[in-house]
Amino acid sequence: MVTIKDIAKIAGVSHTTVSRALNDSPLIKPATKKKINELAETLNYIPNVNAKSLVNQKSYIIELFFSHLSKGTSNNFLGDVIKGINDTLPREYSLAVHELQEVANDLEHLNRIDGAIVMSQSDQDDTFIEALAKQNIPLVVLNRQLDTPRFKNVTSNDAQGVYQMLRHAINQGYSKFACIEGVPSFRSTIERKKGFDQALTEAALTYPPEYCVSGDFTLASGKTGAQQLLSLSDPPEVIFCANDDMAIGAINYCLEAGLRIPQDIAIIGFDDIPFSRFTYPPLTTISKPVYEMSKRATELLLARPGEDDHQKQFFLDTSLTIRQSL
């Protein structure tokens, strides 16, 4: 293992100078800097992160917390999130991962990390987030929109996505829209419904109260919801499901009932989980920019405090993914 002292000896300078040169300190003459950097290169010097950590009081570890790691189809984005973060993180950093629930009662042992990104699905995670904050760990909350943004927060602009999708559908000539909502207390439920209503209102379209059934973001609830909607005496032409899981449930119901999609009934999802391209027929849905959101979250986490502190909350635009279910 080659250390700065080795380099110092060969270069005929002190190890202090080497340290400064490698850290691009303004104190060092460009010439020495150049020489030392080249030397480090040829000697194949790699800084010892452990030593840096000790003296700098930084671990160079940031941690991603994920909720409900092993349930349902909900952690489909884990891969994209990890990629987004790693692509943004400087190379000396490591990205550690933990299931949120796993560490919720054992926060002390997280004292090691420099920062945290919490991929949150529901407001049940708030206790955990508060606890992290109390430990003075810099954090950003990803994926879920915070009502009162006391923490840095990046999510997608859900209302905008649904609005655009509905406009698209209206342009196709559809006019009878129903929806299966998510868990009532969730902010995402509200936002998505907002986009839905706005598009319809703008197009001077209305819908009867029974066209709006409430689900809970699970596949099963999508199935039940579709069944309810489609056994109405005057059924809708389009069902907007507040997430892909429910859309898949709805599709399954239609398949069972022998209904053709989109001829008999069109289905729209939200999220664009990796699987949604493989449903039958492939699901038309609204894509969340998970990768970009993760990048942004990482940038925010790394930003020196004070740099950007005025804005806490960031919304990234969703996009339409038109497949064949509408």
Partner DNA sequence: GTGAAAGCGCTAACAG
Partner DNA sequence: CTGTTAGCGCTTTCAC
CB atoms within 10 A of CB 273: 25
Contact between residue 63 and residue 111 where contact means Cβ atoms under 8 Å apart = no
Tell me the number of residues near its own copies by CB under 8 A. Answer: 53
Which residues are near DNA by CB under 7 A? 1, 3-5, 12-17, 19-20, 22-23, 27-32, 47-48, 51-52, 54-57
Q: Which parts of 225-254 interact with its own copies (CB under 8 A)? A: 248-249, 251-252
Give the shortest CB-170-to-its own copies separation in angstroms.
28
Q: Which of 280, 308, 309, 317 binds its own copies (CB under 8 A)?
A: 280
- Start-end of H helices in the chain: 4-11, 15-22, 30-43, 49-56, 78-88, 100-103, 126-134, 158-171, 187-202, 219-230, 244-257, 290-302
Per-residue binding string, its own copies, 65-104, x by CB under 8 A, is: -x--xx-xx-xx-xxx-xx--xx---xx-xxxxxx--x--
| φ/ψ (deg, to 5) at 286 | -105, 125
264 touches its own copies (CB under 8 A): no
At which residue do the structure tokens 């904050």 appear?
A: 133
CB of 302 to DNA, least distance (A): 17
Whole-number Cα distances in Å, 278 to 25, 28, 192: 54, 59, 24
State which H helix or E strand residue 77 sits in. Answer: none
Binding site for its own copies (CB under 8 A): 44, 46, 48-51, 53-54, 57, 59, 61, 63, 66, 69-70, 72-73, 75-76, 78-80, 82-83, 86-87, 91-92, 94-99, 102, 106, 108-109, 111-113, 219, 248-249, 251-252, 255-256, 274-275, 278, 280, 291
